[in-house]
Structure formats: C-alpha cells, structure tokens
C-alpha cells in the first residue's frame, strides 16, 4: 500500500501513459484523445442540430469517449482522496465563488474552441499524434507549450 500512496517517478508514470496509446488501439481500435467526448456530448444533446459537426457524428461509435472521460475523472477523484496520505483539494474553494465559476466557464469555452480549432486536444496531439509521427501534431504540441508558458509567465499576471 505504501507504493501506491507515494508519488511515482516521472519515468515510470511516463511509460505507463505512453502505453495507453497502443493499449487503447488494441482494445478499441481508436486513438488516444479526449476532445471527441465534447463532440459526443454535443451530438447527444442536440440530435437534430443544423451543424453537420453534431448531426453527422456517429453517437453509438463515439460513446466510448464518454466512458473514457468519466474514467479519467473518477480515477483522478479516487487518487486525490483515497490513494494519498494527505487528501488533495479536488476543487479549490476559490473556484466556488461566482468569479471562480465564471473563470472556469470561460476557460472551458476557450479550451473547447482551441481543441476544435487545432483538430484535437493536447493529449491527443502530444501523446497519440507524436507517437504516430504526425508532423501537425508535433507543431500543435510545440505551440500548446508556447501558449501555456506565455500565459503562465506573462499574460497570466495581467489577466488574473
């Protein structure tokens, strides 16, 4: 139990994350990525949409993405609360205010737009796309990091 309660070295965690790509291909025939679950939710929520992005999406074939997203969320919650010596705050109290909720909502819209505009999410491009030697995924991943670092070390102080 002590092994589970302690943080693992980056190289073990990295190998396990890297193994999700071939395991997911083997189990489902699908590539790793989470942004398709947003399309799945949109397609289920608006089955008669005028947007072909939602209307033409195969809801049955994409249902696994919701289970995958739910598993990631549930796994994070379990590990933060049950598999640690000191429970981690899952949602900081500062986000429970109206201003925090608005920031989370705006951030979610920006991430959803960015994932759609980039043709996939950060995990899909960085883990799956690069593993498949996809040059656009490499470029997207580089610019995800450039954008993240510029907000963290520059624009973030002005915005927040």
The model scores a pTM over 0.95: no
d(CA 109, CA 121): 13
Domain boundaries, the chain: 1-90, 95-160
d(CA 35, CA 69): 9
Specify the pLDDT at position 90. Answer: 65
Q: Which residue has the tokens 């915005």?
A: 159
User: Within 13 Å and on the Cβ side, how many CA atoms surround 115?
Assistant: 19
Other Cβ atoms closer than 10 A to 124: 21
CA angle 49, 62, 51 (to 5 degrees): 20
Specify the pLDDT at position 110. Answer: 85
Q: Which residue has the tokens 């999700």?
A: 20
Q: Which residue has the tokens 């580089």?
A: 142
Low-confidence ranges of the chain (pLDDT < 70): 1, 87, 90, 159-160
Inter-residue contact 40 to 56 (CB < 8 Å): no
User: How distant, in Å, are the alpha carbons of 34, 127, 128, 151 from that of 19?
Assistant: 16, 10, 10, 30
d(CA 150, CA 160): 14
């Amino acid at each position: 139990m002590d092994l589970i309660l302690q943080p693992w070295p980056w190289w073990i965690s990295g190998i396990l994350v890297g193994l999700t790509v071939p395991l997911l291909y083997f189990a489902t025939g699908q590539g790793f990525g989470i942004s398709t679950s947003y399309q799945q939710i949109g397609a289920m929520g608006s089955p008669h949409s005028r947007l072909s992005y939602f209307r033409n999406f195969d809801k049955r074939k994409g249902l696994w993405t919701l289970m995958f997203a739910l598993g990631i969320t549930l796994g994070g919650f379990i590990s933060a609360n049950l598999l640690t010596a000191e429970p981690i705050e899952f949602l900081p109290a500062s986000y429970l205010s109206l201003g925090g909720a608005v920031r989370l909502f705006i951030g979610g819209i920006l991430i959803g737009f960015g994932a759609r505009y980039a043709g996939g999410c950060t995990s899909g491009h960085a883990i799956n796309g690069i593993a498949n030697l996809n040059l656009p995924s490499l470029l997207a991943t580089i610019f995800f990091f450039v954008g993240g670092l510029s907000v963290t070390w520059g624009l973030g102080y002005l915005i927040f």
